[in-house]
């Protein structure tokens, strides 16, 4: 609002200047004292310039505020989307919306609505003043300018569509770069560097071509306005000179009219440019609104921290009752899966790859809704519980064991920001990471690198487990916890899990059966169905599939 008000005041000051110039010319011709008229003109000129500078500062500050707010809203929404949305979209494209698309909004604000308002006021004032000076010259001016404005507006009509296409290509390019950088070691080892460079280069070329199409259309706007201005000026100069010679208007009035002409065409030029910028910004805004229009994951809002969960007496801690699930593309993953996990027990999920074991953990965490059946926590359907309340009682270690860029301390405090240093060292000792961390003089503040690249695969796995243990969950979900561990550290982890199981339940997905031999129950999955349940000894006798898996690992 302040910038708009200053724009109006600056417009008034600009409109006053031609009249003051005409007055100075009249004073010179009459022989009266020149100083008062010149002084007033200088004061108005300086004041208008100062106001214009301050207005530009306010506009830039407002634009930065708009970009900040938009990025905060986008980040909030992106981190709260249902997990299925991340499966459908490319990370690089989402990053592009936070970066490149929001940046385009800055130009929309600085050259957009406020400039259009100020320019409109200035143009209307100039037209009124020109009409008071000479109506015929005004008609001549309006005719010349109208041709240029019409051409420019028609050229700008396609900018929004082309701009959105260009931003889509930029998003695709960002996604290609993100893909290549996230797997740069694999790419190097595969001898695929040149191919990846060519692939990213192709994306960059398509983004370039889309940008050129926008630039080509925008380039039509400027010449149209320039031709209109020059044509109007030459026509006014010629016809105006003729009218001065005929005595219809004075030299001072002609000078004032020409100054008003510039006051008309300059804001019109800015308005046309602002209109073009606005179309570009609206193309980016459509991509931003696409994300903001997506519904966030339910019960993940700060105003719902999570109600207390009251367990049903005698109910298992976790129960899956005839649960079926298929991904959005229709691929069936689980079919009528039923089992339970009681407090303090250890349950393992085993089976061939693709049997649906990891999907079970994702459903327990509420990353996807079940298609049929029920998942219960302490006897209550999880759909009736706020997700924040449920997840506060779960610890989850993914198969890839993601480690965030930063320090060991940063990663551990992710689950419990109030944990003390002794607690951090204790949980590191539980997973056998104490000596690894002490190797660095920085201790807990040692950097782990982007995605934990400065740690070995086993160290990343153990750090992820330590992070979950620190939160003291009632149920710890482990997806292939020993996938990256050697025999020594696997034995250490087994001891850790045995200690953890003393005061919490464990649900473990395992391909390496040696990790789960002493589980209270082993659930065997095959093609999304539970085909057997029991202890290791029982399953060796009763389940051909389990016996085959155990034999392959020399356990029978």
Q: Answer whether 525's CB lies under 8 Å from 355's CB.
A: yes
The contacts of residue 154 (CB under 8 Å, 6+ apart) are none
Token couple for 97: 């919306």
Question: From CA 69, how far away is CA 71, in angstroms rounded?
Answer: 5
183 located within any domain: no
375 and 516, same structural domain? yes
Query: What are the helix (H) ranges across 431-543?
Result: 434-438, 457-470, 487-500, 536-542
- Asked if residue 110 is part of any domain, the answer here is yes
Residue 251: count of CB within 10 angstroms of its CB: 14
Beta strands in 82-205, from DSSP E residues, in sequence order: none
Q: Which of the 8 DSSP states describes residue 417? A: T
Q: Distance between CA atoms of 98 and 70, rounded to whole angstroms? A: 8
User: Of 226, 243, 372, 394, which is closest to residue 309 (Cα–Cα)?
Assistant: 394
311 in a domain, yes or no?
no
Could you give the number of structural domains in the chain? 2
User: Where a domain ends, among 292, 327, 351?
Assistant: 292
The pTM assigned to this predicted structure is 0.67
- Torsion 370-375-377-379 (CA) sign: positive
332 and 453, same domain (yes or no):
yes
CA 316 distance to own-chain centroid: 40
Contact indicator for 322, 338 with CB cutoff of 8 Å: yes
Same domain, 288 and 323: no
Structure tokens belonging to residue 325? 């699930």
CA distances from 209 to 70, 144, 317 (A): 28, 34, 58
pLDDT values of the chain reduced to their tens digit, one per residue, 556 residues:
554 555 555 555 555 656 666 666 666 666 666 677 667 767 777 777 777 777 777 777 777 788 888 888 888 888 888 888 887 888 778 888 887 788 777 766 665 555 556 666 677 777 777 787 777 787 877 777 777 667 666 666 667 677 777 778 877 888 787 777 766 766 776 677 788 888 888 888 888 888 888 777 767 666 666 666 677 777 777 777 777 777 777 777 777 777 777 777 766 666 666 666 676 777 777 788 888 888 887 654 444 444 455 666 667 899 999 999 998 777 889 999 999 999 888 999 999 988 889 899 989 988 888 999 999 998 888 888 888 888 888 888 887 767 888 889 988 888 888 889 999 998 888 888 888 888 888 889 888 887 777 887 778 888 888 888 888 888 989 888 776 666 776 777 777 677 767 778 999 998 888 888 888 999 999 999 999 999 999 999 999 998 998 888 877 7
If asked whether residues 249 and 374 sit together in one domain, one would say no
User: Is 298 part of any domain?
Assistant: no
Domain co-membership, 350 together with 488: yes
Are 143 and 243 contained in the same domain? yes
Does residue 176 form part of some domain?
no
Do both 412 and 274 map to the same domain? Answer: no
Widest Cα–Cα separation across the chain: 121
Domain identity same for 278 and 326: no
- Classify residue 280: in a domain, yes or no: yes
Last residue of a domain, one of 292, 310, 328: 292
Domain match, 416 and 282 both: no
In a domain, 196, yes or no: no
Angle at 97 between CA 96 and CA 99, to 5 degrees: 60
Same structural domain, 411 and 495: yes
Lookup result for tokens 């071509």: 209
Domain that holds residue 271: 2-163+213-292
Instruction: Give the domain CATH number at 548.
Output: 3.40.50.300
| 244 and 104 belong to one structural domain | yes
Angle between helices 487-500 and 457-470 (to 10 degrees): 10
Structure tokens of 123? 């143009």
Q: Which residues of 256-289 are buried (b: 16+ CB within 10 A; e: fewer)?
A: bbbbbbebbbbbbbbbbbbbbbbbbbbbbbebbe
Q: Encode pLDDT of 67-106 as tens digits.
A: 888 888 888 888 888 888 887 888 778 888 887 788 777 7
Indicate which CATH number applies to the domain containing 97.
Answer: 1.20.1560.10
**What is the C-alpha to C-alpha distance for residues 402 and 463, in angstroms, rounded to an integer?**
9
Asked whether residue 431 falls in the same domain as residue 472, the answer is: yes
């Amino acid at each position: 609002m302040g910038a708009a008000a200053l724009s109006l005041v600056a417009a008034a000051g600009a409109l006053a200047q031609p009249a003051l110039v005409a007055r100075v010319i009249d004073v010179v011709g009459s022989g009266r004292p020149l100083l008062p008229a010149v002084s007033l003109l200088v004061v108005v000129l300086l004041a208008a310039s100062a106001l214009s500078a301050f207005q530009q500062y306010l506009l830039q500050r407002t634009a930065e505020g708009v970009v900040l707010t938009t990025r905060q809203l986008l980040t909030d929404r992106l981190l709260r989307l249902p997990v299925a949305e991340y499966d459908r979209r490319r990370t690089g494209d989402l990053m592009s919306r936070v970066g490149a698309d929001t940046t385009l909004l800055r130009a929309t604000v600085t050259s957009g609505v406020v400039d259009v308002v100020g320019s409109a006021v200035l143009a209307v004032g100039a037209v009124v003043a020109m009409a008071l000076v000479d109506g015929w010259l005004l008609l001549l001016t309006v005719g010349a300018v109208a041709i240029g404005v019409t051409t420019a507006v028609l050229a700008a009509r396609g900018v929004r569509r082309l701009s959105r296409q260009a931003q889509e290509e930029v998003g695709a390019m960002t996604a290609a770069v993100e893909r290549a950088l996230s797997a740069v070691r694999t790419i190097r080892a595969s001898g695929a560097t040149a191919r990846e460079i060519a692939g990213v280069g192709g994306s960059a070329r398509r983004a370039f071509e889309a940008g050129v199409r926008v630039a080509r259309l925008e380039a039509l706007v400027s010449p149209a306005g320039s031709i209109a201005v020059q044509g109007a000026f030459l026509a006014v100069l010629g016809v105006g000179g003729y009218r001065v010679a005929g005595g219809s208007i004075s030299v001072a009035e002609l000078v004032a009219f020409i100054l008003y002409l510039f006051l008309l065409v300059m804001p019109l030029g800015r308005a046309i440019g602002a209109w073009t910028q606005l179309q570009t910004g609206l193309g980016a805004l459509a991509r931003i609104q696409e994300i903001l229009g997506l519904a966030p994951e339910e019960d993940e809002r700060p105003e719902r921290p999570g109600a207390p969960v009251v367990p049903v007496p005698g109910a298992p801690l976790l129960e899956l009752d005839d649960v079926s699930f298929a991904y959005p593309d229709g691929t069936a993953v689980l079919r009528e899966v039923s089992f339970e996990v009681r407090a303090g027990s250890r349950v393992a999920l085993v089976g061939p790859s693709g049997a649906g074991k990891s999907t079970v953990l994702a459903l327990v965490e509420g990353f996807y809704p079940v298609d049929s059946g029920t998942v219960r926590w302490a006897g209550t359907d999880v759909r009736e519980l706020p997700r924040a309340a449920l997840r506060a009682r779960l610890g989850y270690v993914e198969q890839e064991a993601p480690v965030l860029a930063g320090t060991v301390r940063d990663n551990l405090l992710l689950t419990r920001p109030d944990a003390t240093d002794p607690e951090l060292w204790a949980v590191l000792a539980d997973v056998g990471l104490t000596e690894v961390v002490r190797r660095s003089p920085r201790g807990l503040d040692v950097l782990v690198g982007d995605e934990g690249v400065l740690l070995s695969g086993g160290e990343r796995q153990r750090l992820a487990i330590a992070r979950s243990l620190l939160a003291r969950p009632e149920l710890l979900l482990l997806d292939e916890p020993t996938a990256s561990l050697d025999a020594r550290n696997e034995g250490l982890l087994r001891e850790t899990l045995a200690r953890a199981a003393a005061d919490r339940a464990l649900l473990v997905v395992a391909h390496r059966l040696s990790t789960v031999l002493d589980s209270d129950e082993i659930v065997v999955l095959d093609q999304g169905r539970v085909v057997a349940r029991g202890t290791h000894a029982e399953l060796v006798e009763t389940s051909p599939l389990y016996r085959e898996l155990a034999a392959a690992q020399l356990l029978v």
